[in-house]
Structure 1
């Protein structure tokens, strides 16, 4: 890679080189410690004599902007005040639009504003040590070998055939989803699947029905696309279907494990939801974010498997069962929207990285994913039992858990008035990270309670953390 220097004409060659290098170092464009090209190489690149370049390096060294190291080369020695120059955009035509994005509240973007606690009950967090690194490494190497064998061209927007087939088999086996590989679109996490569907189905002013309480990132995403968001209440059977207004274009729901309260949607409510969507011409997004982890009772069918009219888009993610950093998700789409979503995906990012796709296809096909899910489920089941035991005993005077049979978070509702803000602050001082249910309400008064993710806290730490919370609650009375 060549250093960007522009030499014009045949006059003052050394001066041109000196001024550009000096300005680049003083402005911060060339970072402190960055190695400069050898004098011979830079002279060849710029069509200058080596002496001219050497003289400039000597002058910069004398000014302490360059540091020469014997046997290694010349390195930038930027002054402390050096920083990249920024130009302020005056009279920006889109200033109002930018301001709306700047003002958007995105709590999940920075989940630890005050620093991570020793004992964290944040949701969506997993235990990296459970991940089978050696098996994944073999799959990644397989993916890289497939890349080398490839055509060197961009691939299809829907994802490689091997992964779509593997996802179709996994979704059918684990969740009863009715599909073929042709209905599967590989995405960069479930969030991109939501974005693609929103782009296809929504225009400014369109009505989107979301659960209240519900997943903030979905609600804010659809709002950013200009939709009018209507919060639909939930009860012990799930979404209150009769509240979905006429004219709704899109319905977002988490029927297997309601986010954040945790109860599953009843069969009767699922049938009512499908009938309502068909009546008003809406598409339902079924976000199946963590239902692979089930602990008790009979598994429920996916909403998509009950759909006889092509109104359900099933969205899944590997973030909760593998690693969030991998950014791998998928959507199983009805025929009515499939081609349009592929067009948007193509325009959005062309396709998801194929090396990761090859790796995941092998990870699923070789049985690593199913074994990993079983291992995680056993660990999470033990953690869940400890939470249930402590909330049934030490914390029972203050909280009651909402029954949930899947996932790796629980909701605890307050049994009597509590100053939750004070509790959260005191718990943070005791190195315990607690989070309120109020974060998930947008249009109705929130229920007082806690959201307890147990994917990222070690089993032996749960007792220590919650007994500290009990002590704090006793002191607050």
Structure 2
């Protein structure tokens, strides 16, 4: 058999002749058409038979030798490697079906579920997904100028500074004025997301077996981060004022709370309850994580100052994010830590690689310094309030016999409870299939869920979109066609 007869080089092909020859020879050996121990023509002979340069053939032979297909000795013709048939299936033989085995995972990974973050329908952007800012209202042109200005600067030589001093200082001033947070700039860590801040906290202060209290129902990402560190996560029930104190339980290592707008109910924790919560956290023994994820958006009164501002013992770690106030793809969060933790947590931040883009940090500094951030927040506060009221009115108009909406004083979402206690998971499945993206209230419970309802986002959706979504909900849940209005 003449080897050249098995090869078909395309002279006009974009791939070089050497690459074509290498690929075709590799395929012939792998398929078994050229057997182990077969002696191939010399580079001079094959080049003449194919009418190509000798260098083309030499390059192909050398590449296949490097990959283990050929053995090439000085002044000898190339030989197909002896073990080639053991490495590849024989011609015509069906590939063996390997038994699919479960991967070896950590105990934490084995407990993961997409009920925490549903993945099945997130590729589509549909009303009434919760927790999203309206990117359509964001000043993208202004933000693009800030990014461009940051990228063109030539002062990023010191890459060891992972938390840009300029943004730390801008955040310190903003948080003190708007949220009543008291801190020095070096207590602020800039992170690639709010969830990264929870990961950092868990890795730094939690040891396996430590008790952690979280709200129930509450933000599932917090429980996921703490469980990953081996914590014993305990869900604490809510009343009308938010998280209750569990006097009979052992003192926790950490308490996670969302006092400004409890997730998902939107309830605001009053000062008396905040003081009680601080009293439950012994200095040096119990830490409190205050997640102020959407504290910028309070509509019915002045926002209550942060829990961190009431703390005089250095027990509170204050967490915030730009993803809600600006747009989700900003991917920047921040963490204000007590002075006793500042150095340790910044070192841990580096070890874990939880480092935000320097260019985005500098762009954010400009965006805040030029007044664009506050102007955008003020504008969106007005818009979101109108959307909240529109959603509440639409639910009352079309679904009052079935759902009771709790209108929160702030935030970006509300919950609507089923009056008859009906299971919410089936309703969510029907609504998602109909094109309305909601979450089941029961899916946010850490223990046995006591309440069933729907978590509905209003911030990212315009009034006409909200109205259409609620009419779809009414059609889907009641079986009756909802009138427009």
What is the DSSP-based 3-state SS (H/G/I as helix, E as strand, rest coil) of the residue aligned with 2:141?
helix
Seen in structure 2, the aligned counterparts of structure 1 residues 471 and 179 have a Cα distance that, compared at 3 Å, is same
Tell whether 2:171 aligns with 1:167. Answer: yes
* 2:55 matches 1:52: yes
Equivalent positions of 1:407-418 (< 5 A) are: 407-418=411-422
Query: What is residue 410 of structure 2 aligned with on the other side?
Result: 406
Native 8 Å contact 1:121 1:435 kept in 2: no
2:271 to 249, 267, 271: 267
Question: CA shift at 1:107, angstroms?
Answer: 3.8
Report the alpha carbon displacement of residue 288 of structure 1 after superposing the two structures with TM.
0.3
How well do the aligned residues superpose, as a CA RMSD in angstroms?
Answer: 3.2
Match of 2:140 in 1: 133
Query: Residue 123 of structure 1 corresponds to which residue in structure 2?
Result: 130
**Counterpart contact for 1:212–1:444, Cα < 8 Å:** no
Q: Which residue of 2 aligns with 1:315?
A: 319
Deviations 1:40-79 (A, max 9, x none): xxxxxxxxx975238878xx9xxxxxxxxxxxxxxxxxxx
- Counterpart check, 1:150 vs 2:156: yes
Residue of structure 1 equivalent to 2:295? 291
Question: Equivalent residue for 1:65?
Answer: none
Please identify the structure whose Cα radius of gyration is greater. Answer: 2
Paired position in structure 2 for 1:209: 213
Which is further off, 403-412 or 342-351?
342-351
Taking a change above 3 Å as real, the CA distance of residues 366 and 411 of structure 1, as seen in their structure-2 partners, is: same
C-alpha spacing 1:448/1:197, structure 2 compared with 1 (3 Å): same
Q: Deviations over 1:306-345 (max 9, x none)?
A: 0011100000000111222221010111012111111111
Instruction: Report the TM-score, using the length of structure 1 for normalisation.
Output: 0.78
1:432-475 deviations in Å (ceiling 9; x for gaps): 22321011002132301110111232221111211222233332
TM-score, length-normalised on structure 2? 0.77
Deviation at 1:155, TM superposition (A): 2.5
1:149 is displaced (CA, Å) by: 2.9
Specify the alignment match of 2:226 in structure 1: 222
**In 2 relative to 1, CA 129–114 (structure 1 residues): closer, same or farther, beyond 3 Å?**
closer
Match of 1:333 in 2: 337
Q: How does 1:351-370 map to 2 (within 5 A)?
A: 351-370=355-374
Instruction: Give the Å deviation of 1:100.
Output: 4.8
CA drift of 1:224 comes to 1.1
Given candidates 248, 255, 266, the residue that maps to 2:252 is 248
Q: How big is each residue's C-alpha offset from its partner over 1:108-158, in whole Å with a ceiling of 9 and x where there is no partner?
A: 5554438637x5212122221111111101110121123x3332x42224x
Whether the aligned pair in 1 keeps the contact of 2:18 and 2:56 (CA below 8 Å) is: no
Of residues 101, 113, 122, the one that matches 2:109 is 101
Contact 1:18/1:56 (CA < 8 Å) preserved in 2? no
The SS at the match of 1:123 is coil
Is the 8 Å Cα contact of residues 215 and 243 (structure 2) preserved in structure 1?
yes
| Number of residue equivalences | 409
**2:172–2:185 contact (8 Å) kept in structure 1:** yes
User: Can you give the 5+ residue segments of structure 1 that lack an aligned partner in the other structure?
Assistant: 1-13, 28-48, 61-87
Q: Aligned-pair distance for 1:400?
A: 1.5
